[in-house]
Copies of this chain bind each other. A is one copy, B any other.
Amino acid sequence: MKPLFHPDTADIQLSSVLYALSDPVRLTIVHKLRQNGERACGDIELPIAKSTVSHHSRTLREAGVIRTRTHGTHRLLSLREEDLEARFPGLLNAILASYEETDEL
Q: Which residue of B lies closest to A99 (CB)?
A: B14
A15 touches B19 (CB 8 A): no
A94 to chain B, nearest CB (A): 4
The answer to whether A24 and B15 touch across the interface, beta carbons within 8 angstroms, is yes
Q: In the complex, A26→B89 CA distance in Å? A: 21
A102 to B102, CA, bound (A): 28
Query: Which residues of chain A from 1 to 36 have a CB within 8 Å of any chain B CB?
Result: 13-16, 18-19, 21-24, 27
Given contacts A22-B22, A94-B94, contact A14 B89 (CB under 8 A): no
Binding site for B on A (CB under 8 A): 13-16, 18-19, 21-24, 27, 87-91, 93-95, 97-99, 101-102, 104
Q: A14-B27, A88-B101, A94-B94 known; 4 other A-B pairs, CB under 8 Å?
A: A15-B27, A19-B19, A19-B22, A90-B93
